[in-house]
Amino acid sequence: MKRANAKRVERWTCPGCGLDAVVPVIIGLPIDDDFEREARGEIILAGCIVFGDEPDRPVQCVECGWYGERLRGGKIREVIRSTDFDGE
């Protein structure tokens, strides 16, 4: 009988490339297991780099780089990140 401590692999279909390759983005300090999960392509580690306009629950496609956020109810939607650092 499986216990709930095994982390569920969450993936979404990418609106950009159509592959089931959208995974959660982990912001902040990763725990040990996170590195293994990233190696398996289950998550993306973003480290502590925060742009200031990150969604609460970011997700990203490991195939094409499509970026979005996870909404309540398990859906995802695209998020346009501002990479314009010299603008106001």
State in angstroms the smallest separation of the CB of 67 from Zn ion.
10
* Comparison of 17 and 28: residue with beta carbon closer to Zn ion: 17
- SS3 (DSSP) at 28: coil
State in angstroms the smallest separation of the CB of 78 from Zn ion.
11
Positions in the binding site for Zn ion (CB under 5 A)? 14, 16-17, 61, 63-64, 66
What is the maximum alpha-carbon separation in the chain? 55
State in angstroms the smallest separation of the CB of 17 from Zn ion.
3
Cα–Cα–Cα angle for 43, 78, 50, nearest 5°? 60
